[in-house]
Amino acid sequence: MKKILMIGTGGTIACKQTEQGLTPGITAEDVLAYIPAVKEVCQVEALQVLDLDSSNMTPSHWKIIVQAIEAHYKDYDGFVICHGTDTLAYTAAALSYMIQNSQKPIVITGSQKPINREVTDAKTNLLDSFIYASDDESQNVSIVFDGKVICGTRAKKDRAKSYNAFSSINFPYLAVIQDGMIIRYIPENEITQEVKFYYDMSDKVCLLKLFPGMKADVLSYLFDNYDVLVIESFGVGGIPATLMDTFYEEMEKWRNTDKLAVMTTQVAREGSNMTIYEVGRQVKQDFHMIEAYDMTLEATLTKLMWIKGMGASNKMLRKMFYQEINRDILFTRKAFVEVN
């Protein structure tokens, strides 16, 4: 029987009702008491490392989670992390970069209703997570939620209240879990390298979401204060004419430094392609600009934080950004041609 470590971080799954609303308060060990059937699946031990509403999750908290997994990595066959849903996709993406080449599964789950409610999705999500974490074929970072297994770099929360809160973006579900059985859609890749743990995530990465009528002066502030500016543009990606002059001034100003702008899209599915329209093609050509293509926003931001956290130069970042990690990008061949 596999030995799994459950790591508690708080979140709705561990919330209690108070006069001020739901707040984390159920310990990891108490959470386990609600799923006695887990004893038939695996041997479980619990470790509480955080007690947060996931809206308060930060890179420093990701570091705590990574430290806990590294400290116990040799002692367990897999890990299940209980997490709040609001930032769960960010944490799954971040851990995909902070823990690489893991032959042992690192499963992240949560719920839309607390586990102590009579009607809740928590018990099913948690038991499914242990089933998946105990399977010989499972590996790397993934999310188990509502019977679906999602690659850690491909998830997005797209429903605020429904039990099917997460979707896999631009990539199939890895598997589904039905009646305790795992039905795999995507075979796991063989991992031959040793597991690696990373801790430093840069706080010099910023996201700018474009909207009609935005004033251009925000660009100057962001370029002054951040090393990497992720621009969440419209459609397949581009810079509106009202921002173009200032954007060109800033890009010229920082051309020979390690400042960088990365283009992504506000549209969740099908990704960016700046070469389609004039508003994107010209700026990409003039500044050799990189874009996220089919990557999720969560993966784009956390990957850049991880790369810059290692002190990578602009040139190195351009290459590392397009190296596939935990299935985070499919458009690598075209991207490598463009950056080289």
Alpha helices in 73-211 (DSSP H): 88-98, 122-133
Q: Are 97 and 295 in contact (CB under 8 A)?
A: no
Instruction: Spot the catalytic one: 9, 12, 87, 124.
Output: 12
| CA gap 114, 82 in Å, rounded | 12
Question: Distance from CA of residue 206 to its chain's centroid?
Answer: 16
CB 24 within 8 A of CB 56: no
C-beta of residue 241 within 8 angstroms of C-beta of residue 279: yes
**What number of residues does the chain have?**
340
Question: Is the Cβ–Cβ distance between 144 and 175 less than 8 Å?
Answer: no
Residue recorded with tokens 């089919």: 294
With a CB cutoff of 8 Å and minimum separation 6, the contacts of 288 are: 338, 339
Which of 191-213 are b and which e, b meaning 16 or more Cβ less than 10 Å from the residue's Cβ? eeeeeeebeebbeebbbbebeee
Alpha-carbon gap, residue 220 to 259, rounded angstroms: 12
Identify whether 12 is a catalytic site residue.
Answer: yes
Nearest CA-CA partner of 117 in 26, 195, 207: 26
Mapping DSSP to helix (H, G, I), strand (E, B) and coil, where does residue 329 land?
A: coil
The answer to whether 80 touches 133, Cβ cutoff 8 Å, is yes
Q: Which residues are catalytic?
A: 12
